[in-house]
Amino acid sequence: MDQKQIFSKCKELGCCDACGLRYLGIRNPKAYENAKEFALKFQDKPVATDGASSSTEKEAVETNNTTVSNGDSPPNKKHKGNPCVTCLGLLQEEVWPECNKKVKELLDKKRYECTTFACALSAPIVTILRERVVSLRLSDACKDYDAKVLTPLKEAWKWSFGTQLATYVGINLDAGHLSPLLVTLHMEYPDDLQELEVLKTLSPTLFESRSQQRKRFTVEFTRRSVEQALEGVTLEALEALPGRGEGIMAVGGRVECVSVGCTHAPAYVGGRYIKLSRELPQTPWIINGRRMMESSVQEIIFEPLAKAYGMSLADSEHRLKFMAAGREDVDVRCLGDGRPFAIEVTDPNRQLSADELNNICEEISKSGLVIVKLMVPVTKEDLTDLKKAEETKRKTYEALCIKLAHSEYETDLDPSAPVTVTDEDIRRLNTFRNTPAEHSARIVFTQRTPIRVLHRRPLLVRTRCIYELHAEKVPEHPRLLCIRLVSMAGAYIKELVHGECGRTAPALRESARAPIDLLALDVSAVLAVWPPTTRLH
């Protein structure tokens, strides 16, 4: 492959130096940092670096250039510093100052504390069509040319524009999978859609099908559809299109940076919350647009966290995501070490220090409703453990129950006699077992989805286990008893006590052979390792 011949042809067609290197298959990042200098080795004589290679060639290109999408368009008027016919200016320095300015303004506004960044490009789709035309012309002029060697536009852009942008903003350029900060530039070309119209003639069936499926294909031209339309296309087929001139496609102007986006990879913090109130849901409780409680565990935790990140209340609603290993009912306290939780922080401008996280815990605890003793950074991978804990953890409960009537075996009592919890009631509960002695669980029961949660959970029948159970009388309260039990995840303890009219069986009231109901319930322990102990040192 004669590299000088190929490069010369690229210049003749109107390519910039950087695109000339791309068609040669140059993949050395250093080459694109100063494409003009690197390109000298492929030139036999001085060549213009932005557009046609000589005045004669330039005149020829100006005469022959016509727009591929519109046969009535006049020849493109060339001007000083012609846009490249392939990249449309993306790899040319004339476009970069405005891009640099917009990126720096946004970075200054968002104030990221990050030493590296990665950059991404949203390029005009028509560059795919233009690359194919140039590749076909090179193959026609240079018989041994291999179009597969083409260096991707986005790679060359990163190596050229990205490198100088790093110097301009004072942050090191890094790979996207390494740096948490991503800067995305959205570039548009004024004649993008107009030039792509030619593809409807080239591949009418494809675009007729897309037009008929507007619900599925909301955009007429996508990168995928353009690539499909160009599969197997020949130079002869392109030149036979209506309005297609002999020269390379005319350029309707340079690309422009229409918007810049900056986003930082999410940050994650984890901890455990203790819930002291019986009038506090885990997350905001809204029914038909009406708030049912003044606050929630989530909101109490979010408030000081959002303040530390400089977020407004409105921002925190969509930039903070609360996750927990299960949830307790609004009227159930969560005591002991608390329930594991994590928070995802979208687009954080920095990582909070250990002291800041400790201060946040103190602010949360001042509410008197929720206590968080510790909050530490965790990783996205750690969230897998939190999700597993939700499904596999064991929980310890304390249930305050009341005996509603005499036991079935108390047949010798006067019906009007006071109802009391008897030693026999306690014995029956403490010895009840419906599994073999070698089984890890004492009680295996089935439960239909409780009626009280059917509005948000599907109606299913599930099997759950109780591993430990101990009942005892409550001193000075003859009708009350306290039941402590250890259950598997997903067990509905309220229904386990009273049975919900047989929807949960066997219920504890059946094992005691006495009608009992639940007055108050506490989660006294959630048996899961969280946050990850490696984060605590």
Higher pLDDT, 337 or 415: 337
CA distance 393 to 326: 9
Tens digit of pLDDT for each residue in 276-317? 999 999 999 888 888 888 999 999 999 999 999 999 888 898
Distance CA 488, CA 394 (A): 5
Buried b (16+ CB within 10 A) or exposed e, 252-264: bebbbbeebebeb
Identify whether the C-beta of residue 512 lies closer than 8 Å to the C-beta of residue 358. Answer: no
For the cut 90, the answer to whether the pLDDT of residue 219 exceeds it is no
pLDDT digits (tens, 9 = 90+) for 353-398: 999 999 999 999 999 999 999 999 999 999 998 988 877 889 999 9
349's tokens: 């401008």
> What is the number of residues in the chain?
537
Taking only the tens place, the pLDDT of each residue in 92-141 is 999 999 999 999 999 999 999 999 999 999 999 999 999 999 999 999 99
Q: 286, 455 in Cβ contact below 8 A? A: no
Instruction: Give the relative orientation of helices 3-13 and 126-141 as an angle to the nearest 10 degrees.
Output: 130
* Residue-level pLDDT at 63: 36
- Residues pairing with 485 in the sheet: 397, 469
| Count of alpha carbons within 13 angstroms of residue 76, beta-carbon side | 30
Question: Which residues contact residue 300 at a Cβ distance below 8 angstroms, ignoring those fewer than 6 apart?
Answer: 364, 367, 369, 370
Which pLDDT score, from 0 to 100, does residue 390 have? 79
Other Cβ atoms within 10 Å of 413 Cβ, number: 13
Which domains does the chain possess? 3-263 (no CATH), 266-392 (3.30.70.2510), 394-523 (3.30.70.3190)
Tokens of 296: 């929630």
CA distance 423 to 473: 8
Backbone angles phi and psi of 261, in degrees to 5: -125, 140
Give me the chain's average pLDDT, please: 89
Q: Does pLDDT of 54 surpass 70?
A: no
Q: CA 529, 531, 534 angle in degrees (round to 5)?
A: 90
Side chain identity at 464, as an amino acid letter? R
Alpha-carbon distance 19 to 11, whole Å? 9
Angle of helix 297-308 relative to helix 354-365, nearest 10 degrees, comes to 140
Q: How far apart are CA 249 and CA 486, in angstroms?
A: 75
Which of the residues 144, 191, 315, 329 is marked catalytic? Answer: 329
Residue 436 scores a pLDDT above 60: yes
Residue reference for tokens 């536009």: 153
Q: Which residue has the higher pLDDT, 39 or 313?
A: 39
In this structure, are residues 237 and 68 in contact, taking their beta carbons and an 8 Å threshold?
Answer: no
Q: Where are the alpha helices (DSSP H) in 180-250?
A: 192-196, 198-202, 204-212, 223-229, 235-239
CA proximity to 343, closest of 357, 326, 323 = 323
* pLDDT of 462: 95
Residues above pLDDT 70, as percent of the chain: 90
Q: Which residues contact 111 (CB under 8 A, 6 or more apart)?
A: 349
Neighbours of 489 (CB within 10 A): 19
Its pTM stands at 0.79
- Per-residue model confidence (pLDDT) at position 240: 82
- pLDDT score at 59: 41
The DSSP bridge partners found for residue 482 are 400, 472
How far separated are the first and last CA of the chain, in Å rounded?
A: 59
Q: Quick one: three-class SS letters along 348-411?
A: CCCCCCHHHHHHHHHHHHCCCCEEEEEEEEECCCCHHHHHHHHHHCEEEEEEEEEECCCCCCCC
Q: Which helix (H) or strand (E) holds 58?
A: helix 55-64
Write the pLDDT tens digit of every residue in 18-32: 999 999 999 999 999
CA atoms within 13 A on the CB side of 484: 7
Over the stretch 238-272, which tens digit does the pLDDT of each residue have? 888 765 544 457 888 999 999 999 999 999 999 99
Is there a catalytic annotation at residue 412?
Answer: no
* Opening angle at CA 415, ends 412 and 418, nearest 5: 100
